[in-house]
């Protein structure tokens, strides 16, 4: 067969994936003057064409059935809602409002918004655009620079750990939701089997402000001195009933069978949301992503009508300009962005990979960032209107009831709703919202993990139920690990995963290397050109500057601050983890962080040739078949290429693997 060649502007393209189309089809949206050094191969497999004509390199020729077309979203709104469901989660409701209050109220928005534009949006856009451009999950997307494929493995490890421990919050929320359907909320009284003699329903701290009243009885049979050791029924319900917490990590204790059933129920829900792929999860997320907003609005309307709500909201937004001088405020803003935007987990890349190639992901990134940050700010009004009411009812300062994390979700807020009329209704609404907020984040996280795994094993027609089986194995494996978190020592295990496996350090490390690889190894200008081919115009140069310099500096600066100011993990500022617990925690953190340098060194030392040859060879992108369709330089010439009798063969350039 006669060799044919087409002009090209570069010879860096590598095609590995096979296709059955003959002649090759190029859509009308193909970019003019693209990067593809497209040639046709003869029977000897040699490549002749364009700028690469003199290379005379040998290539493999793929034969047999091609890979199936990648699944795409039914509607683009499915993608938007899935990203909203994943990125907008519990951190927006229980972490941002507390950080805002703690770090100067409205002043916190200055460092927060600044880091949104120099760190959050650039990396958020980078991950979505990368997935859309490469049409691959979190591992194969790094075929753009195969030497750094360890980034993909690192993100898979992080998202696996997230999927494992994050669902425990759903299990606890589901447990509270079930317990909300009682005429009297079980955490509102002290006459339950799990309550102790120190339990007291109503505190009167304001009556004990005078130290001389230490021996005066102020509440039931309790004196002011005894009142200092008293415990709220909600704390006893949480620690004695829900967690049945042991004395430490070394004491695992018994299983909580009620929690095991709740855990099993939420994993079953996650499985059936994900098992059919984006065609099903894209529909479920319409409800799971939007209904929490309905509940938030209802709770806000209720909250602002309660006494003390105004004081609570003012505590939330009242600016304290002196806070801007504190480094911790800027660090909190940075880490919150990386947490709430779900950066570095690979799930955003997987979601983007199901987009149409010419989807305007640049516009999507700004819309999603606005929704994410807007939800965080709005949630603060809901939370602090309720906390203001709670503080007014107990006669204490808001600083004594303002909490973050599980403390807000399972202690402060349940206590607040127990003080309201028709308490079970508000409790059920709150925990239903909590479950939905966590559920869509969870099943999109599982979707991201499964997508990355399945991309490693390209489809074969007879593997009909491979997705269903892969999702089932993933859910079952996570469930088995989760059993360690439904024991009496389970909270200590949960904290280890939360503090180390997906901590600020691991996410910042991941984001730093993502920017370095795209901007300095692949090329920021080159990737901007690729984005322009997809969306039809070049993004503002600010993105390129951020990827190249600003964002890596921000990530590394916050990373080093975390490292220098590292504090050993403790529970409730009382229990300090043993040394071997710290070792386990660092093992969880390093299991993802070391993927990048270990994979880099392994690939580099396995390759042959000089260092420069190895580097050039291993940083040459490996493109997929869809790049033929969308980036071919000459549509007319492509249509004339007919492989004749070899209609199962395709044009493939030298592999870098």
**How many angstroms separate the CA atoms of 315 and 633, rounded?**
60
Sign for the CA dihedral angle at 499, 505, 509, 515 comes to: positive
Is residue 242 a contact partner of residue 195, using CB atoms and an 8 Å limit? Answer: no
Structure tokens at 286: 């319409």
| Nearby residues of 7 by Cβ (< 8 Å), 6 or more positions away | 50, 633, 634
Map residue 254 onto helix, strand or coil. coil
Q: What are the distances in angstroms from CA 117 to CA 127, 460, 573?
A: 15, 43, 35
Q: How crowded is the C-beta side of 219, counted as CA atoms within 13 Å? A: 22
**How many angstroms separate the CA atoms of 356 and 347, rounded?**
17
**How many angstroms separate the CA atoms of 45 and 161, rounded?**
44
**How many angstroms separate the CA atoms of 506 and 159, rounded?**
11
**How many angstroms separate the CA atoms of 438 and 204, rounded?**
36
Angle between helix 309-317 and 361-394 (nearest 10): 130
Q: What is the DSSP string of 499-525?
A: IIIT-HHHHHHHHHHHHHIIIIIIIHH
**How many angstroms separate the CA atoms of 351 and 365, rounded?**
12
Which of these, 159, 397, 471, 434, lies nearest to 292 by C-alpha position? 434
| DSSP single-letter state for residue 181 | S
The label of the residue with tokens 């620079």 reads 145
Structure tokens at 26: 């190029």
**How many angstroms separate the CA atoms of 174 and 261, rounded?**
10
**How many angstroms separate the CA atoms of 383 and 83, rounded?**
24
Q: What is the DSSP string of 296-310?
A: HHHHHHHHHTSTTHH
Known binding residues for Na(+) are: 85, 87-88, 92, 340, 372, 437, 440-441
Structure tokens at 404: 């973050």
Which of these, 522, 530, 467, lies nearest to 142 by C-alpha position? 522
**How many angstroms separate the CA atoms of 157 and 377, rounded?**
31
Structure tokens at 123: 């990396």
**How many angstroms separate the CA atoms of 506 and 288, rounded?**
28
The label of the residue with tokens 């683009």 reads 76
Is residue 119 a contact partner of residue 554, using CB atoms and an 8 Å limit? Answer: yes
Q: How crowded is the C-beta side of 106, counted as CA atoms within 13 Å? A: 5
Q: What share of the chain is helix, strand, coil (3-state, %, to 5)?
A: 65, 5, 35
Residue 85: in which H helix or E strand, if any? helix 76-87
Map residue 358 onto helix, strand or coil. coil
From the number of C-beta atoms within 10 Å of its C-beta (0-12, 13-18, 19+), residue 5 rates as middle
From the number of C-beta atoms within 10 Å of its C-beta (0-12, 13-18, 19+), residue 301 rates as exposed
CA angle 96–98–99, rounded 5-degree value = 65
């Amino acid at each position: 067969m006669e060799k044919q060649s087409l002009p090209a502007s570069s010879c860096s393209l590598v095609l590995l994936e096979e296709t059955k189309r003959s002649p090759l089809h190029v859509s009308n949206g193909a970019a003019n003057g693209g990067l593809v050094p497209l040639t046709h191969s003869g029977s000897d497999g040699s490549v002749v064409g364009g700028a690469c004509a003199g290379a005379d390199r040998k290539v493999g020729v793929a034969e047999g059935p091609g890979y199936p077309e990648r699944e795409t979203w039914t509607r683009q709104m499915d993608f938007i809602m899935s990203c909203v469901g994943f990125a907008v989660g519990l951190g927006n409701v229980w972490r941002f409002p507390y950080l805002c209050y703690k770090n100067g109220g409205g002043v916190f928005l200055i460092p927060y918004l600044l880091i949104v534009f120099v760190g959050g949006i650039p990396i958020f856009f980078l991950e979505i655009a990368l997935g859309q451009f490469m049409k691959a999950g979190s591992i194969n997307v790094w075929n753009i620079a195969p030497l750094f494929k360890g980034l993909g493995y690192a993100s898979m490890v992080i998202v696996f750990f997230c999927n494992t421990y994050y669902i425990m919050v759903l299990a606890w929320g589901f447990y509270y939701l079930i317990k909300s359907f009682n005429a009297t909320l079980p955490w509102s009284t002290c006459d339950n089997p799990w309550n102790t003699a120190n339990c007291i329903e109503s505190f009167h701290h304001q009556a004990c402000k005078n130290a001389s009243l230490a021996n005066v009885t102020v509440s039931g049979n309790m004196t002011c001195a005894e009142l200092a050791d008293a415990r709220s029924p909600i704390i006893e319900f949480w620690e004695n009933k829900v967690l049945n917490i042991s004395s430490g990590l070394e004491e695992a204790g018994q299983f909580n069978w009620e929690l095991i059933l709740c855990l099993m129920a939420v994993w079953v829900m996650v499985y059936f949301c994900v098992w059919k792929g984006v065609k099903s999860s894209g529909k479920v997320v319409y409800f799971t992503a939007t209904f929490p907003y309905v509940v938030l609005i209802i709770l806000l309307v209720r909250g602002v009508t309660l006494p003390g709500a105004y004081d609570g909201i003012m505590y939330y937004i009242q600016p304290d300009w002196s806070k801007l001088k504190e480094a911790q405020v800027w660090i909190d803003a940075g880490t919150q962005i990386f947490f709430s935007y779900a950066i570095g987990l690979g799930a955003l890349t997987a979601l983007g990979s199901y987009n149409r190639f010419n989807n305007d992901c640049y516009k999507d990134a700004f819309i999603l960032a606005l929704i994410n940050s807007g939800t965080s700010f709005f949630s603060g009004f809901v939370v602090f209107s309720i906390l203001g009411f709670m503080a007014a009812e107990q006669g204490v300062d808001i600083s004594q009831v303002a909490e973050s994390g599980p403390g807000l979700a399972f202690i402060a807020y349940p206590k607040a709703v127990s003080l309201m009329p028709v308490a079970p209704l508000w409790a059920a609404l709150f925990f239903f919202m909590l479950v939905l907020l966590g559920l869509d984040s969870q099943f999109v996280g599982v979707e991201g993990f499964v997508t990355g795994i399945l991309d490693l094993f390209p489809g074969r027609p007879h593997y009909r139920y491979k997705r269903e089986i892969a999702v089932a194995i993933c859910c079952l494996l996570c469930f088995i690990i989760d059993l360690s978190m439904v024991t009496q020592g389970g909270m200590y295990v949960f904290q280890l995963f939360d503090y180390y496996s997906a901590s600020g350090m691991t996410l910042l490390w991941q984001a730093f290397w993502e920017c370095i690889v795209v901007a300095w190894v692949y090329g920021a200008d080159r990737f901007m050109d690729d984005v322009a081919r997809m969306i039809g115009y070049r993004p503002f140069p600010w993105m390129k500057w951020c990827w190249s310099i600003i964002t890596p500096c921000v990530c590394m600066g916050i990373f080093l601050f975390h490292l220098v100011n590292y504090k050993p993990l403790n529970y409730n500022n009382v229990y300090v983890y043993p040394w071997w617990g710290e070792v386990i925690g660092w093992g969880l953190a390093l299991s993802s962080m070391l993927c990048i340098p270990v994979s880099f060194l392994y690939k580099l030392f396995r390759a042959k040739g000089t260092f420069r040859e190895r580097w050039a060879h291993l940083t040459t992108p490996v493109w997929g078949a869809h790049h033929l369709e969308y980036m071919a330089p000459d549509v007319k010439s492509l249509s004339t290429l007919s492989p004749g009798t070899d209609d199962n063969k395709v044009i493939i350039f030298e592999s870098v693997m």
